[in-house]
Amino acid sequence: MPLQPSLDAASARSALLAVENVAVTYSNRSGSHEVCSDVTLSVGRGEALAVIGESGSGKSVTVLAVTGLLGAGGTITQGSIRFDGEDITRLDDRERRRRGLRGRRIGMIFQNPSRALDPVFTIGQQLNEALRQTDRFSQPELRRKGTDWLRHVGLPDPEEALDRYPHQLSGGQRQRVMIAIALASEPDLLIADEPTTALDVTIQAQVLGLIRRLQRELGLALVIVTHDFGVVAAMADRVAVMYAGQVVETGTVDEIIRAPRHPYTRALMASLPTGIPGTRVTALPGSVPSARSMPSGCRFHPRCPVAVPACSVTRPVLDSLSESRAMRCLLEEAPAS
Amino acid sequence: MLTFALRRAILGLLVLATVAVLVFVAFRFVPGDIVNRQLEEAGAVTPALLAEKRAQLGLDEPLPVQFYNWISGVAAGDLGKSLWSGRMVSDQIGAALAPTLQLSVLAILIGGILGIGAGVAAALWRGTPVDMVLRVASTVFLAVPQLWLGLLTLTALAAIGYFIPLPYRGFTAAPLLNLQQVVFPAAVLALGVAAALSRLTRSAMLEVVGADFIRAAHARGVSPSGVYLRHGLKNALIPVLTLLGTQFGNLLSGTVIIERIFNIPGLGNLLFESVANRDYPVIQAAVLTYGLITILVNLAVDLSYGLVDPRIREARA
Ligand SMILES: Nc1ncnc2c1ncn2[C@@H]1O[C@H](COP(=O)(O)OP(=O)(O)OP(=O)(O)O)[C@@H](O)[C@H]1O
Ligand SMILES: [Mg+2]
């Protein structure tokens, strides 16, 4: 199926997934923290969006909010999430299952394939759970379809692999299995939360390539979470850059990589990994502020190399710069370095 | 797998042999013997008569010789004769075994289902009144002695005008009557098991429910019962099975007193009487039987780990 990169504003309006001004709060006995404050992003059918940001910026929380899997104490306190025109912001588990938002229409791949597969059930048993979301299949049909999916994701000996347990596969194979499980229920949207961080560097490119190929072949919308601009360039059509629970800049991959405008995006790009694990060209000093002690004004100003006094007072909003591009910065005309 | 079972079986035999020595020696140090008891009843005790009786029963031989005579008999399948009634010990054990097995299997079933069910419910409704009530109940039943609970049950039944029918009938002979006789003692034994199991199941489930694969199962659309009972419970089951095994041991020792209270002619009752009479062959055979049951149950629990967890199965292969 050909990819249709219609990245204009019209596609954003008819987006498959539209997250608008979403705030997420976790509360427990010791208090409550707003871990996402203002997340706005959208993905059209067949489009790939990368969500990038440092550790703790709220990327995982954002995608969990979409699937309604925030866990104990987590709630969406503001904003709305629309999927295919339906408001899914506050649906409970039962309603999400009934509408097929778990598996059949939205598939999810997790960061650590070793922990996301149940160790005491076979690959086939777990794959069947996904296959059964679409239809009632007989045992032989399940087996045949399961084998097909495992072959599709490039697992050697797909038929035998059905009867294997997760610990009998390598990390890369497990992530391929997770991809097969997520796709077996034929979703429209695939969410991949750092699908390769737990994998060996040599396997990462293969698994990413597989996701990208299947996404194009099946015409899926893709949200891929990462903190690596290399992944963004290879995988996505558009990018949303997150910092401290907010989206600070969005645009097409081309625009952002060629001309990043937000000081945080620029700093993040300047600290591209060198390819040698653990080393970065320029480390961004400091770290993401915690939900307990958010800076006043712009959340990035304490670490911002070009901050002016106003930045510590005025909260910037996400302003549209063009049809495809938006940014949250008081110094909108900040020169590209 | 086979070699593992074999290793466990050999270990079991060693344990059984140790039990045999211990029970043999221990009861010889309890003052008074069967001859004393018999002659007390007859009234006239002369030292000559005592010695003659003892010689008849083989009790005048040195202990090691007595032990050898007994253990070689046991090894050949001959448990000897009761010193008191002269009946074959194997017949007595055989007759007493069925009621005890029925009682303890019923109790472990009730206790297992109640305990695991309560533990899962408490974990899923953590922090709610359901959880609170179940936790308080388990603490209470863990603390209450079985003897007391048994007597309380009998008293309570009498107070509402219900009397358990007597005498005891076997399940095959009179199923309905038998169930009426067995269900209350089984429930008394089960409550302690359920209390212990529910606490462990709750904590094991809470640990599993936070796992990534539970979230992933939700994400691919598995139903709540599928997520918690299939994925959740199966992963929480290993520690629960371990406890189930040790609880069976506790339960078995509980049957001695419970059989006594509820007039069930099982191994416990037999042991009780034979101890009172210093009927050594019967005591020894009864204790050995308890040991054998315990060892078999532990073996079954060990083998069941492999059924639950493929990684354990492989490590043993
Ligand atoms: N279950 C939770 N309860 C309380 N706080 C949470 C929970 N999950 C996440 N948070 C908080 O939300 C913030 C954002 O976390 P999130 O996992 O979204 O970061 P991330 O951008 O995905 O980082 P990483 O790249 O390390 O995965 C963090 O401060 C984290 O402590
Ligand atoms: Mg994350």
**Element (DSSP H or E) covering residue B214:** helix B212-219
Q: Which one of the ligands is nearest to A75 CA?
A: 1
Query: Cα–Cα distance between B281 and B261 in angstroms, integer?
Result: 24
B46 contact partners, CB below 8 Å, separation of at least 6: none
Q: Which one of the ligands is nearest to A55 CA?
A: 1
- pLDDT confidence of residue A283: 61
| A221-277 pLDDT tens trace | 999 999 888 889 999 999 999 999 999 999 999 999 999 999 999 988 887 665 555
Fold of A1-95+241-271+281-337: Rossmann fold (3.40.50)
Same domain, B25 and B122: no
Query: Cα–Cα distance between A184 and A142 in angstroms, integer?
Result: 11
Residue closest by Cα to atom 1 of ligand 1:
A71
Identify whether B100 is part of a domain. Answer: yes
Same domain, B19 and B133: no
Picking from B46, B75, B104, the residue at the C-terminal end of a domain is B75
pLDDT at residue A6 greater than cutoff 50: no
Same domain, B63 and B209: no
- pLDDT confidence of residue A334: 46
* B219 close to A (CB below 8 A): yes
pLDDT at residue B83 greater than cutoff 90: no
| B17-39 pLDDT tens trace | 899 888 888 887 777 777 777 77
Identify whether B40 is part of a domain. Answer: yes
Residue B259 token pair:
């059989």
Residues of B in contact with A100 (CB under 8 A): 221
* B226 close to A (CB below 8 A): yes
Same domain, B46 and B117: no
Among chain B residues, CA nearest to A165: B310
On whether ipTM exceeds 0.90, the answer is no
The DSSP code sequence of A264-329 is HHHHHHHT-B-SSTT-BSSPPSS-PPPTTSPPSSSTTGGG-TT--GGGGTSPP--EE-SSS-EE--
Tell me the CA end-to-end span of chain B in Å, nearest whole number: 5
Identify whether B241 is part of a domain. Answer: yes
Distance B68 CA to ligand 2 centre (A): 70
pLDDT at residue A178 greater than cutoff 80: yes
CB distance B116 to B201 below 8 Å: yes
The whole-chain average pLDDT of chain A stands at 88
| A107-135 pLDDT tens trace | 999 988 889 999 999 999 999 999 999 98
CB distance A292 to A281 below 8 Å: no
Residues of B in contact with A107 (CB under 8 A): 219-220
Distance B46 CA to ligand 2 centre (A): 90
Extended strands (E) in B66-203 = none
Most B-contacting residue of A129, A168, A177 (CB-CB within 10 A), to test interface: A129
**Element (DSSP H or E) covering residue A68:** none
Range of the domain at B36: 2-75
Identify whether B283 is part of a domain. Answer: yes
CB distance A308 to A28 below 8 Å: no
pTM: 0.85
- pLDDT confidence of residue A333: 55
CB distance B288 to B23 below 8 Å: yes
Same domain, B125 and B12: no
Same domain, B286 and B178: yes
Same domain, B197 and B239: yes
**Domains identified in chain B, total number:** 2
Residue closest by Cα to atom 14 of ligand 1:
A58
Helix (H, G, I), strand (E, B) or coil at B303: helix
Residue B77 token pair:
């399948």
The DSSP code sequence of A4-29 is ----SHHHHHT-SEEEEEEEEEEEET
pLDDT at residue A311 greater than cutoff 80: yes
The 3-state DSSP composition of chain B as helix, strand, coil percent (nearest 5) reads: 80, 0, 20
Of ligand 1's listed atoms, the one at least distance from the Cα of A58 is 18
Same domain, B104 and B239: yes
CB distance B286 to B277 below 8 Å: no
pLDDT at residue A307 greater than cutoff 80: yes
The whole-chain average pLDDT of chain B stands at 89
Identify whether B15 is part of a domain. Answer: yes
| B174-202 pLDDT tens trace | 888 899 899 999 999 999 999 999 999 99
CATH number at residue B129: 1.10.3720.10
* A131 close to B (CB below 8 A): no
Q: What is the mean pLDDT of residues A52-58?
A: 90
Query: Cα–Cα distance between A175 and A185 in angstroms, integer?
Result: 16
Q: How long a stretch of residues is chain B? A: 317
Q: What is the mean pLDDT of residues A35-63?
A: 93
B128 contact partners, CB below 8 Å, separation of at least 6: none
pLDDT at residue A4 greater than cutoff 50: no
Most A-contacting residue of B220, B228, B230 (CB-CB within 10 A), to test interface: B220
What is the number of H-type helices and E-type strands within chain A?
A: 12, 12
Identify whether B87 is part of a domain. Answer: no
Helix (H, G, I), strand (E, B) or coil at B63: helix
Contact state of A129 with B216 under an 8 Å Cβ cutoff: no
Same domain, B71 and B103: no
Q: Beta A326-327 vs A319-320: how paired, if at all? A: antiparallel
Position with higher pLDDT, A333 vs A233: A233
Q: How long a stretch of residues is chain A? A: 337
Same domain, B44 and B121: no
Q: What is the DSSP letter of A311?
A: G
Identify whether B89 is part of a domain. Answer: no
Q: Where are the domains of chain A?
A: 1-95+241-271+281-337
- pLDDT confidence of residue A282: 57
Phi-psi category of residue A247: left, alpha or beta, with phi > 0 → left and psi -120 to 50 → alpha: beta
Indicate the range of A90-99, A222-231, B79-88 predicted with least confidence. Answer: B79-88
Q: Which residues line ligand 1 (CB under 6 A)?
A: A 26, 35, 53, 55-61, 71, 73-74, 227, 290-291
Same domain, B307 and B270: yes
| B141-152 pLDDT tens trace | 989 988 899 999
- pLDDT confidence of residue A3: 41
Query: Cα–Cα distance between B117 and B134 in angstroms, integer?
Result: 10
Picking from B75, B103, B130, the residue at the C-terminal end of a domain is B75
CB distance A287 to A273 below 8 Å: no
Identify whether B81 is part of a domain. Answer: no
What are φ and ψ of residue A81, in 5° steps? -125, 125
Task: Count how many Cα atoms sit within 13 Å of the Cα of residue B208 in the half-sphere of its side chain.
Answer: 29
Residue A248 token pair:
């600070």
Q: What is the mean pLDDT of residues B275-289?
A: 90
Distance A145 CA to ligand 1 centre (A): 36
Contact state of A133 with B221 under an 8 Å Cβ cutoff: yes
Among chain A residues, CA nearest to B306: A120
Query: Cα–Cα distance between B277 and A58 in angstroms, integer?
Result: 76
Same domain, B44 and B141: no
Query: Cα–Cα distance between B263 and B255 in angstroms, integer?
Result: 11
